[in-house]
Amino acid sequence: MKFALLAVIASTVAAGVNAHAIPLENAYVDTSVTVENLRRSLPNSPKGYTPTYQNCPQNAPVVRSAASLSPNETRWLQKRRNSTIAPMRNLLSRLNIQNFNATQYIDRVASNASALPNIGIAVSGGGWRALMNGAGALKAFDSRTANSTAKGKLGGLLQSATYLSGLSGGSWLVGSLYINNFTTVGALQAETSGSVWEFGNSVIEGPEKSGIQIFNTAEYYANLVSDVDGKANAGFNTSLTDLWGRALSYQLINASEGGPAYTWSSIGISAPFLNADAPYPIIIADSRAPGEKLISSNTTIYEFNPYEMGSWDPTSFGFVPMNHLGTNWTAGRVPANEKCVVGFDNAGFLMGTSSTLFNQLILQLNDTGIPDALRNLVADLLTGLGDDNNDIADYTPNPFYRYNPQTNPSANSTRLTLVDGGEDLENIPLHPLIQPNRHVDVIFAVDSSADTAFHWPNGTSIVATYERSLSAIANGTDFPSIPDVNTIVNLGLNTRPTFFGCDTSNFTGGTTIPPLVVYIPNSPYTTFSNVSTFQLETNNTQRDAIILNGLNVATMANGTRDTTWPTCVACAILSRSLERTNTEVPQACTSCFNRFCWDGTLNSTKPANYNPMPVLQTVNLQSGGSKLLPRWAVAAAAAALGYHAM
């Protein structure tokens, strides 16, 4: 490895320069939240980014079958479902379904978790575009956002949700909220004392700081390389994702030097999660063998939640404890005299795992503002890694080594390599929310994909999830019928929210009824939010404009584009619950389903290029210019991946 060489050179250049993360005590405190919400999860890795070997607990951790939910999640759900009752009651009554008393209904079913609506929210990938557009939706759904609980507003939907999933850029959003102790989007973007989300300097350059930029960049890279080198020297495989994940942390985690000691499992011991005040956070990644370029629809999908990492697919079909990732399991057990590992589940590494698409961009660096000498050294190092097919996230030792060997394609490999969760085209993380064991009723699916020539979504992701649900790997994960992409564009289903799965009689032949999917595609309301996935810099003016646009997308401009939208959100939430309790559907909801449900119409002719204009007056972005990677770098990265645009 060349990490040590670069660390020595960069640290020599950078000697005497301080860390550049924003101190916690200087973070802006949203008046609608407490200081507690701005404290972070716990830095519980004993040696920072370097995983540590310890004696295993008396009951050594084992690989758990995916036949059921984990005992930890089951216990947590008992608290969370109770915690959703009050915000759900308030939300539904405020959204005003005519001639229907939502307060009385929720009170009637509150004691029966199987009758109570079970809500999931899924935030797609798509780089910083996806983070910002998704942040706008969550800001609209969060009762802590100022004025979000006024009549007809959607504040409280986040507090009513049981699950929140993210992928790639969506995983950055989920991770940033939770590692910063389930803070608000408003607090992360606030500028009173400098925000956490400062995207004006790309992760290639490092955090902005006074002084000569060469020293800042040099120290930044020295820190990154030193962390990754420490992991390698401890005997663990490293890859570009380690470097990428550490860089991401500087932009997403409010802690010195990007919080190298913060782990994903520390979410599970943070106050908001322990108190069940926040939804269950999940991010996902795909499996991929080194050297593979294309990811098929039957690849194994792995999820990361506060308690476990694993897969529901009938391949691995197992989970391991999150806080012991990096431990050597063989055939589901830790061999005698082996030690357990802690600290492997670094939060930035996991967010980087869900977004390894960007590893290829690092390999294609050219004009990034890095001083020539340092850029050449870094490019040298990264190219060497790429040549070794290390453009993946390496989870060696494979937790599922010799586990389920009859069905698990990686059972005979000591390596488990994972990549961006959108590389199978399922760019919205719906997979963990359609698992029958989780009994989710409705999913609000925020799609920030760049499927078209102008970087707007066209439904490719939900089509891919539907097609996967028809294959052998689906393993009982039914999904509503979705039309082809041409139909979605021709009918304008990618220009406004659309409900899929309204008619449950279509599922009478299956063993389960899938969730109703409320598809919310990115579209322009107040700004052109279709920035490139590969835009690495976004100043605060454009950042805030895209977040505001995302809020308008999720609320249909607070109901001004369609006055029925708030009521129809309430109807979507209640739909499956009303059916389970044999409650007559209110006429207002019938009208909503007629208005927003896809009715089965098809129009598969080739559509014209989709290039929409903003619905409302656009925000002035006088200084909104942002740096993109060079076009040749984007093209080379896409070609190297054989990758569909995200």
Q: What is the pLDDT of residue 507?
A: 80
Strand 340-342 versus strand 318-321 pairing type: unpaired
Identify which of 527, 503, 501, 502 has the alpha carbon closest to the alpha carbon of residue 615.
527
Domains of the chain: 3-641 (3.40.1090.10)
Q: What is the pLDDT of residue 24?
A: 26
Q: What is the pLDDT of residue 361?
A: 58
Instruction: Report the residue count for the chain.
Output: 646
SS3 of 419, please? strand
Q: Which residues contact 142 (CB under 8 A, 6 or more apart)?
A: 148, 155, 158, 159, 184, 185
Q: What is the pLDDT of residue 294?
A: 61
User: What are the phi and psi torsion angles at 519 (to 5°)?
Assistant: -85, 120
* Residue appearing with tokens 């991401």: 248
Q: What is the pLDDT of residue 243?
A: 86
SS3 of 558, please? coil
Q: What is the pLDDT of residue 209?
A: 63
Burial of 156-170, coded b for 16+ CB within 10 Å and e otherwise, reads bbbbbbbbbbbbbbb
User: CB-side exposure of 94: number of CA atoms within 13 Å?
Assistant: 17
Q: What is the pLDDT of residue 357?
A: 75
User: What are the phi and psi torsion angles at 528 (to 5°)?
Assistant: -80, 95
pLDDT digits (tens, 9 = 90+) for 377-387: 455 545 555 55
Q: What is the pLDDT of residue 192?
A: 61
Helix axes of 213-233 and 372-387: crossing angle, nearest 10 degrees: 30
Q: What is the pLDDT of residue 350?
A: 98
Q: Give pTM, 2 decimals.
A: 0.89
> Measured between alpha carbons, how far is 455 from 444 in angstroms, rounded to an integer?
21
Task: Outline where DSSP puts E strands in 83-157.
Answer: 119-123
SS3 of 499, please? strand
Which tokens is 64 given? 């758990």
Task: Outline where DSSP puts E strands in 225-328.
Answer: 280-287, 301-304, 308-311, 318-321
| Contact yes or no for 645/126 (Cβ under 8 A) | no
H or E segment at 460? helix 460-469
Which tokens is 299 given? 């690849």
Q: What is the pLDDT of residue 205?
A: 76
- Residue ranges in the chain modelled with pLDDT below 50: 1-39, 210-215, 367, 371, 373-374, 377, 381, 623-645
